[in-house]
Amino acid sequence: MEATSAPIFKNPLENVVAYIPTETSIYLGSPSLASLLNGGIIASHDFFGLKSYKNSFGRQNMTRIHRSADAGKSWRKLSDIKDLFWSSLFMHRGALYLLGCSAHYGNIFIRRSDDGARTWTGPLDEYSGLLFLGGKGYDPPNYHCAPVPVLDCQGRLWRAFEDNVTASWPDGFRALVISALANSDLLKASSLENDQQSFI
């Protein structure tokens, strides 16, 4: 039988990335992880709950970034990013990306970091990370997702999203997939061909 290495931690709660007491009415969700080329680990999560951070439409919209330099034994907070929710971390061609929504129902945003998650690009327009524009308030499209993986397959990157056209739970959801050529500028909306936003 082949020998296997022992797990780093015996208790899964031994080294906690982030914690907020329940009495605050703020909760942590949408966890995502990525390994950097230098061996560091980046973790992200967003905030939800009655007293969580919200935008002008009352939508939750804040993500926090943490980094570990010792294989997850300790973590330090790097930054808070407004207008980012339900996001996936992924490495692609030496850069770190966050792909998700601007809020609980919102735009589809992508951000890039070239310095190990210390700083991030801002999705100001269709040339800098605004991939699909959501509606105002609860006007469709109401983009929605979870921190699902980004798949690199046959020269394209793929990620699942949803559009809740009624903005009510649980009816109104339509599943879709967006994709871009793997060698394209992922911050440009033009990299996502029109026929690649496919509803299922």
Specify the CATH number for the domain of residue 170. Answer: 2.120.10.10
Regions in the chain scoring below 50 on pLDDT: 1, 194-200
* Confidence at residue 196, expressed as pLDDT on a 0 to 100 scale: 42
* Confidence at residue 112, expressed as pLDDT on a 0 to 100 scale: 98
* Confidence at residue 1, expressed as pLDDT on a 0 to 100 scale: 44
Q: Strands (DSSP E) along the chain, which ranges?
A: 27-35, 41-48, 62-68, 76-82, 85-92, 95-101, 108-113, 130-132, 143-144, 151-153, 156-164, 173-181, 198-199
Q: What is the pTM of this model?
A: 0.89
- Domain-located, residue 6: no
- Domain-located, residue 134: yes
Number of structural domains in the chain: 1
**What SS3 state is found at 172?**
coil
- Domain-located, residue 7: no
* Confidence at residue 137, expressed as pLDDT on a 0 to 100 scale: 83
Residue 29 belongs to domain spanning: 25-199
- Domain-located, residue 80: yes
